[in-house]
Structure formats: C-alpha cells, structure tokens
C-alpha cells in the first residue's frame, strides 16, 4: 500500500523527480572523479615534480568541485519542493476523504486516530520522500560508481569490497527487520496517547467536578509508559545500527591500508592509487551509511503509509447518487419515512424498526422516548448522516439516497443534540447557515432564537470571538446560536434534535412562540426529552427500543398510551399535563 501511495501521489511531480535524478547523477559522478584526479596529482605531479601538471589538474579539480556543489544544491532544492508538495497533497486528500465519512466511518477509526494519520503519519512519509530524493538517488550511484572507480585503481584489493559491502547490507537488513513491528506498535500507542489526552482536555470540567485528576493522570501515565516502552525497544535496535556500520567501516579501512601498503611496498600499486582506493572505499561505505538512514525510516514510514491508505481506501457508507434526482420543488418541506429500519453492522438488534411518518409544511412532528430509544438516529437519517438499512426516507417526494447531498442539505436546517460552534466569531458561525446573509438577516435569526439580547450585550456584538467548540459560551447560549444558524437559511425542513434541552422553560416557550410564524411554510421535526416542549405538536411519535409504540396528539396519547403517560407523569403535575 505504501508503494501505491507514493506512485499515485508523486505522479504530478515527475518532472521535478527527473531533475532530482539528473542533478544527483551529475553531482555524484563529479564527486567520484575527484579522488582519481587527486591520485594523478600525487603519482604524476608530486612524484615527478611537475608543478604545471599539478596546477592544471588542481584547477580542473576546482571546476569539478563547483559543478558538484551546484548540482547537489539543485537536487536538494527540487527534492524538498517535491516532498513538501507531496505532504500537502496527501493531507488535502485525507481531509477531503474524512469529510465524506458518515458517523459510522468516523466511529470506526476514531477521531484521535484520524488526526494522527493526517498529521504525524503524513509527516513520516513526507520525510521519507525527502530522504529518498536526497539520499536514495545518490547512494546507489555512488556505491556502484565507487566500486567501478576503485577497481580501476587496483583490482588486487577488490576482494575487500566483495567482503565488506555484503556484510554491511546483511547486518543492516537484520536490524531493520526487527524494527518494523516495533514501529507499527509505536503508531498505535501514539493514537492511544492522543485519544486519552483529547478526552482529558475536552472533559476537563467533568474530571475536576468528580475529582478524577489522579485517575486521569494514572490513565495518561499508563498510555505514555506503553508508548515509551515500545519506543525504547525500537530505539535499542536503532542504536545497534551505527556501531555495526562503524565497525565495518573501521575494519575495512585497516584492511585496505594494511594490504594496500604491502602492495605499494612490492611495487604493485602506487601511493596515489592507494589513497584514491581508500577514498573510494569510504565513499562506498558512506553511501551504505546514508542508505542506512533511509532503511531506518522505511519501516516506520511504511506503517504510516499503510494507515494513510487505509483511510483513503475507505468509502463512505453514504455514497453520492450516480444519477442524482432533484427534489420536487412543488413538494418543498414534504418529509416521509416508510417502514424505515436502521441497524449497525454486526449488531444483534436494529436501532430503529419499521418506523413510518409523513409530515407536511406547517406541521410540527415531535419524537419522544427514553434514552437509547433511537430518537437521534431517526433525525440523522433525514440529512443522510446515516443511511437506512431498510425502508425509504423521502424529502420533497424523492428518496434521499437519490438526491445530490448539496441539494438535500439546502432543504434542511439541522440543530444537533450537541450544539457545536466553530472557532471564529458569532457572525462567522451564523454564516455557516447562509454564507451571503446580511447583518439584518443575522439579527433577525438571533431574535427568533432568543439570542439577540446576549449577543448585543457583548462589546464586539456579532464579531464577538468564539472559542473552539464554543466553550466560552454557556450551553444555552450555544444552543440558541446553533438554532439561529439553522433559521437563517430558511429551509423547508427543520430538525431539532433535543435542541432546547439547555434552555429554561421561559426561554423555551418564547422561542417556540417565535418559531411558529417563520415555520408556517416548513416542516418541523423535534426530538425532545421535555414534554412541555412538544405538548403543542401536531403529531407526537413515542419510541421505545426503536419501535413506534404511540402516535397522536398530546391529549390522545395521554388518554390511551401507557409509555407516554409514564413520561408525562414523571415530568408534569396532573394540572400541567391537562
């Protein structure tokens, strides 16, 4: 999978990669030529005392050195641009792929893992690409060229190369094979540390409220220690690589000097040739050492690449329609569920079973039931956050699975159970609902949502800053801004998923009264826990264990539905219920 990722994502950079190879080749050839020129100066110029020859060859060496420097710098520049562009493209691809995921895929991977894959994992593969452009290209050229040039100087010492190079490769390969499983485990431990840290930061209020700091510190310490243990094991194998390489390098240097010295003493080799041979040997071993850096990075980058491809190869369970059909404009606001069933893969029982309802503009449909009855799941099926596993959900007379998602979402104003605000300002959050909304439209939506008063009280007004998740606002303020965000687009269908739970009863009543005039031409679907929120609904569905066990108005259900009676009795006095 790693090779496929590199092949596909590096395709746009073929020109730059070609330039990297060309510049690296010229630079390495120039570097390999220098020891031979140096040997000529020693054997021909110094030995014979020919100063002119020394000057001419020395000038040639300076020219070759200049070419080598220019080519090396150019190769690194193009390689860096390629690696950075690759990293940018992969991060963008991951972001867009995750953006298509339904809640099912996000739950499968987990948000901390998706963040790690989009940041740390991409960085590891990006560094591999950079090292490949600067080292992986030059090392084989230097290795092969060094062997050829060394044998040109003296064939008698060729056996040293035949012994040293394979020994170095075998020792390095053994160490790398031991590092791979440790690096794979290390990435999983990084995911776990990120998950624990994210939970603790997000839930810091709960942690402090229940005085769970020692427990959370212990939980993080456990995850941190597990990561450290795996990293130490990988580090131990990594630490053995450098001593192995240096042992081979030093032993081979001693062997060349020892046996080469005997050959010089016997007149079979000149001093300059011995110097050049030793230099070529160092270059060969240096190329192997540089390749070692690459080999050290490949196991971890390979694991990261597999994790990236796993995300990119995952397709959403809410696919786009192959031939989208627009909803009928004459049926704007029409919502129908026919025998809808939803079950998670592998689940013993469905979350929803055979749910049907029809809603028309001007109607308010309410859904009530105990926790886990499937109320939020029912709401999420309408905007296709999930797809029904059986039955049909229709918006504007068309199955939602046949409607283009952009067109579908334009028909819907959703206020989720957990009101989430984005980093920015109050204005930027409301513009999520309608990007071209005017200030008048924004204030009107806030007034209906009972949020105008507290926004006007802020010194910055609509430009008041919003922290990540809206944590600098109270729960009720977040809900009112989220409701205003849905109202500002004036959709045909409003979905309120327990969107009034953080409001006091007086604010709840004022908000529902303000909603009536602006929703006369739209369908309103409300999920609620409080009976007072839905008492005036045109139709109330009572859910229990994913099944509809009651259907009717408040008074009809109060007269004949036991489940609804229990809910009402637990919240209202007999006088209030009547």
Q: Show the tokens assigned to 215.
A: 């427990």
pLDDT of residue 46: 60
The per-residue pLDDT for range 377-399, each reduced to its tens digit, is 899 899 988 888 899 999 998 99
The chain-wide mean pLDDT, for the chain, equals 86
In this predicted structure, what is the pLDDT of residue 344?
81
Terminal-to-terminal C-alpha distance of the chain: 65
Residue with the larger pLDDT of the pair 225 and 282: 225
What pLDDT does 494 receive?
93
pLDDT tens profile 321-365: 888 888 888 889 899 999 999 988 777 888 899 999 999 999 999
Pairing, β 390-395 against β 335-342: antiparallel
Q: Report the pLDDT value the prediction gives residue 429, as an integer from 0 to 100.
A: 92
Pairwise CA distance, residues 225 & 229, whole Å: 6
Does 34 score more than 80 pLDDT? yes
Lowest mean per-residue pLDDT among 15-29, 92-106, 260-274, 502-516: 260-274
Give the SS3 label for residue 432: coil
Q: Mean of the pLDDT values across residues 7-22?
A: 89
Query: Percent of the chain at pLDDT above 70?
Result: 97
Is the Cβ–Cβ distance between 27 and 138 less than 8 Å? Answer: yes
Per DSSP, the residues of 444-499 read HHHHHTT-HHHHHTSTTGGG-EE-GGGTTS-HHHHHHHHHHHHHTT--SEEEEEST
pLDDT tens-digit readout, 498-556: 888 878 888 888 888 898 888 888 999 999 888 888 888 899 999 988 899 999 998 88
At residue 374, what are phi and psi to the nearest 5 degrees? 105, 15
Does the structure show a pLDDT above 80 at 205? no
∠ CA(176), CA(179), CA(180), 5° rounding? 95
- The full DSSP string for 364-426 is EEEEEESTTSSHHHHHHHTTTSS--SEEEEEETTEEGGGS-HHHHHHTEEEE-SS----SEEH
Instruction: Answer whether residue 185 shows pLDDT above 70.
Output: yes
Judge whether residue 557 has pLDDT over 80: yes
For residue 90, give the 3-state DSSP assignment.
Answer: helix
Of 152 and 118, more confident: 118
pLDDT for the residue numbered 166 = 81
> Residue 445: what pLDDT?
92
Residue 379's closest CA among 36, 368, 321, 48? 368
**Per-residue confidence band for 45, with pLDDT thresholds at 50, 70 and 90:** low
pLDDT at 122: 93
Amino acid 345: pLDDT: 77
| β-sheet with 335-342: strand ranges across | 352-359, 335-342, 390-395, 398-399
Range of lowest pLDDT (40-49, 146-155, 167-176, 454-463): 40-49
| Count of residues making up the chain | 578
pLDDT tens digit string along 428-453? 999 988 889 999 999 999 999 999 99
- The reported pLDDT for the residue numbered 155 is 79
pLDDT for residue 112: 78
- What distance in Å separates the CA atoms of residue 400 and residue 382, rounded to the nearest whole number? 7
- pLDDT over 90 at 493, yes or no: yes
Mean pLDDT of 180-192: 79
Sorted by where each starts, the structural domains of the chain and their CATH numbers stand as: 2-312 (1.20.1560.10), 327-411+529-578 (3.40.50.300)
Is residue 558 pLDDT above 70, yes or no?
Answer: yes
φ, ψ (nearest 5 deg) of residue 528: -145, 155
SS3 356: strand
pLDDT digits (tens, 9 = 90+) for 80-120: 999 999 999 999 999 999 988 887 888 888 887 888 889 88
Which pair of tokens denotes residue 471? 């944590």
Report how far residue 255's alpha carbon sits from residue 263's, in angstroms, rounded to the nearest whole number.
12
pLDDT reading at 172 higher than 80 = no
């Amino acid at each position: 999978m790693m090779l496929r990722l590199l092949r596909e994502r590096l395709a746009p950079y073929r020109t730059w990669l070609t330039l990297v190879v060309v510049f690296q080749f010229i630079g390495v050839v120039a570097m390999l030529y220098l020891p031979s020129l140096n040997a000529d100066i020693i054997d021909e110029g110094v030995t014979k005392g020919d100063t002119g020859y020394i000057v001419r060859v020395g000038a040639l060496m300076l020219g070759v050195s200049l070419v080598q420097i220019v080519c090396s710098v150019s190769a690194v520049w193009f390689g860096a641009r390629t690696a950075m562009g690759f990293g940018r493209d992969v991060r963008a691809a991951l972001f867009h792929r995750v953006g298509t995921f339904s809640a099912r895929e996000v739950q499968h991977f987990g948000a901390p893992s998706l963040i790690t894959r989009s940041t740390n994992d991409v960085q590891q593969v990006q560094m591999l690409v950079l090292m490949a452009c600067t080292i992986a290209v030059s090392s084989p050229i230097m290795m092969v060229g060094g062997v050829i040039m060394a044998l040109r100087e003296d064939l008698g010492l060729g056996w040293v190369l035949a012994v040293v190079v394979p020994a170095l490769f075998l020792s390095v390969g053994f160490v790398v094979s031991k590092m791979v499983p440790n690096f794979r485990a290390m990435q999983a431990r990084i995911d776990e540390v990120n998950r624990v840290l994210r939970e603790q930061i997000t839930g810091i209020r709960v942690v402090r409220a229940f005085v769970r700091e020692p427990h959370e510190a212990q939980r993080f310490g456990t995850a941190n220690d597990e990561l450290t243990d795996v990293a130490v094991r990988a580090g131990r194998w990594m630490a053995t690589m450098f001593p192995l390489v240096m042992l081979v390098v030093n032993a081979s240097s001693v062997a060349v000097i020892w046996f080469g010295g005997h050959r010089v003493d016997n007149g079979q080799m000149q001093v300059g040739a011995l110097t050049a041979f030793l230099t070529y040997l160092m270059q060969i071993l240096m190329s192997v050492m540089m390749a070692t850096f690459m080999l050290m990075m490949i196991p971890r980058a390979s694991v990261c690449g597999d994790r990236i491809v796993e995300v990119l190869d995952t397709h959403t369970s809410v696919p786009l329609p192959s031939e989208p059909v627009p909803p009928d404009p004459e049926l704007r606001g029409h919502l129908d569920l026919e025998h809808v069933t939803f079950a998670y893969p592998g689940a013993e029982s469905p979350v929803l079973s055979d749910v049907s309802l029809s809603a028309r503009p001007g109607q308010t449909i309410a859904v009530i039931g105990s926790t886990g009855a499937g109320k939020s799941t029912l709401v999420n099926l309408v905007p296709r956050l999930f797809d029904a596993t059986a039955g049909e959900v229709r918006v504007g007379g068309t199955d939602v699975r046949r409607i283009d998602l952009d067109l579908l979402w334009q028909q819907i104003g959703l206020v989720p159970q957990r009101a989430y605000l984005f980093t920015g300002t109050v204005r930027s959050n409301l513009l999520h609902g309608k990007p071209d909304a005017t200030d008048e439209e924004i204030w009107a939506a806030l007034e209906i949502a009972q949020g105008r008063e507290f926004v006007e009280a802020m010194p910055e007004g609509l430009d008041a800053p919003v922290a990540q998740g809206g944590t600098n606002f109270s729960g009720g303020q977040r809900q009112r801004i989220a409701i205003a965000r849905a109202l500002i687009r004036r959709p045909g269908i409003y979905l309120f998923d327990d969107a009034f739970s953080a409001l006091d009863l007086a604010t709840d009543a004022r908000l529902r009264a303000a909603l009536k005039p602006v929703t006369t031409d739209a369908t309103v679907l409300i999920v609620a826990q409080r009976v007072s929120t839905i008492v005036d609904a045109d139709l109330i569905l009572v859910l229990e264990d994913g099944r509809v066990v009651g259907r009717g108005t408040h008074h009809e259900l109060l007269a004949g539905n036991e489940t609804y009676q229990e809910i009402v009795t637990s919240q209202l006095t007999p006088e209030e219920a009547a």
